[in-house]
Amino acid sequence: MRRFLLRRLAYTVPLVVLVSIVGFAFLHLAPGGPAGVMTGNPKVTGEDLERIESNYGLDRPLPVQYLCWFRQVFLRFDFGRSYVTGRSVSSMILERLPATLELMFSAFVLAVIAGGLIGTVSAVKKGSLLDQVLSVVTMTGMSVPVFWLGLVAIYLFSLKLGIFPAGGRSALGTGGSPADRIMHLALPASVLSLVYLSSWARYIRDGLLEAFEGEFIRTARAKGLGERAVILKHALKNAVLPAATVVFMQLPTLFTGAVITETVFSWPGMGRLFFEGLQRQDHTRVLGIIVVSSLLIILFNLAGDLLGMAIDPRIDKGRSGLPGAGSRKRSPAIL
């Protein structure tokens, strides 16, 4: 386990550096930056733009710019200041990170609970009308774009029914009571969780149907166990193991999915901060979020691997050709 963990951490640094190189190159080759922010001002002359580029070091060759930025970020842990607001990018990220983690955690809990319930009911009622309805719901959830689903949810539950707020993290001008925060969180967390609970429900359903065909299920029924005990103590245990591995492996995608959800619902997290930075050509802000996001995604992926191995001992952490990817050994069903 220690060697696996050290090997995965050793891959983290070069991977984050590679992401930063690609992001830095694309952003600086595209139009924008501090000079681009000023081009809409009629009072700014060409000499002013040249002076701005010189002050920020943007008149240097691109490799030199990257090395200066790399030294500032990875050696001094300073992401610089926003071209637009003048604030420290690090403080802006730290200010928004709790909201993103709150949204991710809430969506994850909803997806796990609802996905497990839907998958179990669908497998137990296989072939029934309820199974068909749930299958249509899960397939729709995996197919519908998140931004469209968010807009529909706002229109239906906020504008028409008036049940939930249309956006934000709390009521304007207030810190927000716990009940108010939950009401603001309900719609974005539900929309973000729907895609994941749909796929996780399919994994649970398929795993249960496969378990129902096992010899150990027939043995348990022959011993006189009730159907509820057979499902909860035997079949569901075997179905949850592979599904839990998939769930933990998909944890990082919750972070990327939050970008769209936060933008649609005006949720004050890192995803919205990133979108606003792109809109306003704020390169330092965007690069800082790219570095922090890539690091968090890598760490979430590592945590998913470790949790998957802890839950399912059949995952072999040492035989995979890819860094950190596990390969499943063949083994009899675990009772």
Number of domains in the chain: 1
Whether 187 is in a domain gets the answer yes
Which residues, in sequence order, are CB contacts of 62 under 8 Å at separation 6+? 25, 28, 29
**DSSP string of 144-195, one letter each residue:** S-HHHHHHHHIIIIIIIS--S-SSSSS-TTS---HHHHHHHHHHHHHHHHHH
Residue 53 lies inside a defined structural domain of this protein: no
Q: Give the pLDDT of residue 188.
A: 92
Please give the average per-residue pLDDT across 110-132, as a whole number. 87
The pLDDT value recorded for residue 36 is 59
pLDDT tops 50 at residue 178: yes
The pLDDT of residue 152 is 92
Average pLDDT, integer, range 149-157: 91
Residue 21 has pLDDT above 50, yes or no: yes
Average pLDDT on 293-304 reads 79
| 312 pLDDT more than 60 | no
In degrees and rounded to multiples of 5, residue 319 shows phi and psi of -110, 0
**pLDDT bracket for residue 23 (50, 70, 90):** confident
CATH of the domain at 235: 1.10.3720.10
Q: What is the pLDDT, as a whole number, of residue 38?
A: 57
pLDDT greater at residue 322 or residue 82: 82
Report residue 35's pLDDT band, with 50, 70 and 90 as the boundaries: low
pLDDT score at 321: 39
Phi, psi angle pair for 33, to nearest 5° = 85, -170
Q: Does pLDDT of 222 surpass 60?
A: yes
The residue that leads in pLDDT, 331 or 25, is: 25
| Whether residue 231 has pLDDT greater than 60 | yes
pLDDT band of 324, cuts 50, 70, 90? very low
Would you say residue 8 lies in a domain? Answer: no
Mean of the per-residue pLDDT values of the chain: 79
Angle between helices 89-124 and 251-264 (to 10 degrees): 110
Is residue 218 within 8 A of residue 200, CB to CB? The reply is no
The pLDDT, as a whole number, for residue 60 is: 82
**pLDDT grade for 223, boundaries at 50, 70 and 90:** confident
Per the structure block, which two tokens stand in for 277?
């930075």
Domain that holds residue 110: 91-267+301-328
Q: How confident is the model at residue 334 (pLDDT cuts 50, 70, 90)?
A: very low
**Residue 27 within a domain:** no
- As a whole number of angstroms, the distance between CA 33 and CA 284 comes to 8
pTM above 0.85, yes or no: no
CA distance linking residue 90 with residue 285, whole number of Å: 9
**pLDDT at residue 300 above 50?**
yes
The pLDDT, as a whole number, for residue 40 is: 58
pLDDT at 335 over 60: no
Residue 250 lies in a domain: yes
pLDDT value at residue 276: 87
The whole-number average pLDDT for the span 178-198 is 88
Mean pLDDT to the nearest integer, 304-322: 57
